[in-house]
């Protein structure tokens, strides 16, 4: 907040000096160097500015840029305060000794744009607490059932490990759900699971969608995955930095909140449609 007040005082002094020069004809004949404007690093000055989930605009964009500079936000700059921005803000607040509510209030903004803001740890890895494993009754299944994302979301808990089968190759591996609201953000449970997942993509990470089926609540569910690690990391020592996504019927993307046609084609393929 002190920085914002200083910028305002600087602007007022500059305006006063300019007015004096215009009022005195003798002074107007003396060339003076035009002051260089200081870059504005913080959102618009406001004593009670609060930026939170659901907000959009330049203030949000500046916050995302600052969080990215500090290593907390690893996504596209959207100008929309969504789930990923909230998660990044909470991580920043926790690391800097603030109340981790995900809301950018005056105190948080002062710290965020201050010189003493702490960067994200080089490797911020938090392993889920004893992930549970649900063993399927049988792995001999050809197709999965079409289940709405809302059904999957309500049953696949964070930290829960599920068996996934690649539809084309029949290879199976385990994935842990680490987050996600519109679809499941997942990570391989172990190095072995990571190697199998990567092998289904020919040994190279890719954004391509692949049809999969996964066992949840006694049902083999038709799904779709991508194979490009991105975002934050939660599961340690699994040979993958970041996470991938698993979609189900009518699931959506996080940033644009829209149904991804490529994922949906793979979901239907996994269901034999």
Q: What is the pLDDT of residues 157-201, one digit of tens each?
A: 888 999 999 999 999 999 999 888 899 999 999 999 999 999 999
SS3 state of residue 167: coil
Is the pLDDT at 41 greater than 80? The verdict is no
pLDDT tens digit sequence for 96-127: 999 999 999 999 999 998 888 898 876 544 44
**How high is the pLDDT of residue 150?**
93
Q: Which of the four CATH numbers 1.10.645.10, 2.60.120.1440, 1.10.101.10, 1.10.1760.20 does domain 2-112 have?
A: 1.10.101.10
Is the pLDDT at 273 greater than 60? The verdict is yes
Q: Name the least confident of 25-34, 57-66, 191-200.
A: 25-34
Percent of the chain with pLDDT over 70: 76
CATH code 1.10.101.10 region(s) in the chain = 2-112
Which residue has tokens 């160097």?
33
Closest among 95, 86, 173 to 136, alpha carbons compared: 173
Tell me the C-alpha distance between 173 and 168, whole Å.
14
* 23 vs 161: which has the higher pLDDT: 161
Whether pTM > 0.85 for this model: the answer is: no
Tell me the C-alpha distance between 119 and 107, whole Å.
17
**How high is the pLDDT of residue 140?**
64
Closest among 153, 161, 179 to 250, alpha carbons compared: 153
Sign of the Cα pseudo-torsion (246, 250, 256, 260, in order): positive
Percent of the chain with pLDDT over 90: 50
105 and 50 Cβ atoms separated by less than 8 Å: yes
- The mean per-residue pLDDT over the stretch 237-245 comes to 93
Cα 72–Cα 75–Cα 78 angle in degrees, nearest 5: 115
pLDDT tens digit sequence for 205-235: 999 999 999 999 999 999 999 999 988 778 8
**How high is the pLDDT of residue 18?**
42
Tokens of residue 8, six digits:
């305002």
**Alpha helices (H) along the chain:** 2-23, 25-28, 58-69, 83-95, 106-112, 149-155, 191-199, 261-270
SS3 state of residue 270: helix
- Residue 42: pLDDT band with limits 50, 70, 90: low
């Amino acid at each position: 907040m002190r920085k914002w007040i200083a910028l305002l005082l600087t602007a007022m002094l500059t305006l006063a000096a300019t007015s004096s020069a215009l009022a005195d004809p003798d002074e107007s004949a003396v060339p003076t160097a035009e002051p260089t404007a200081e870059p504005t690093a913080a959102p618009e000055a406001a004593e009670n500015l609060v930026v939170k989930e659901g907000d959009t605009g330049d203030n949000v964009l500046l916050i995302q840029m600052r969080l990215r500079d500090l290593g907390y936000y690893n996504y596209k700059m959207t100008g929309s305060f969504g789930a990923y921005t909230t998660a990044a803000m909470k991580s920043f607040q926790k690391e800097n000794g603030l109340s981790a509510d995900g809301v950018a209030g005056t105190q948080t903004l002062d710290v965020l744009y201050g010189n003493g803001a702490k960067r994200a740890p080089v490797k911020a890895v938090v392993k889920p607490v004893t992930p549970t494993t649900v063993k399927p009754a049988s792995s001999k299944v050809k197709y999965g059932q079409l289940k709405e994302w809302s059904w999957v979301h309500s049953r696949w808990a964070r930290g829960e490990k599920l068996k996934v089968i690649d539809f084309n190759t029949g290879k199976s591996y385990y994935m842990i759900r680490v987050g996600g609201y519109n679809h499941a953000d997942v990570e391989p449970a172990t190095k072995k699971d990571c190697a199998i997942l990567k092998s289904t993509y020919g040994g190279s990470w890719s954004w391509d969608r692949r049809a999969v089926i996964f066992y949840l609540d006694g049902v083999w569910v038709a799904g779709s995955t991508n194979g490009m690690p991105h975002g934050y990391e939660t599961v340690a020592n699994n040979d993958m930095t970041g996470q991938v996504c698993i979609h189900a019927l009518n699931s959506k993307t996080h940033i644009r909140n829209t149904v991804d046609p490529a994922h949906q084609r793979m979901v239907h393929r996994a269901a034999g449609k």
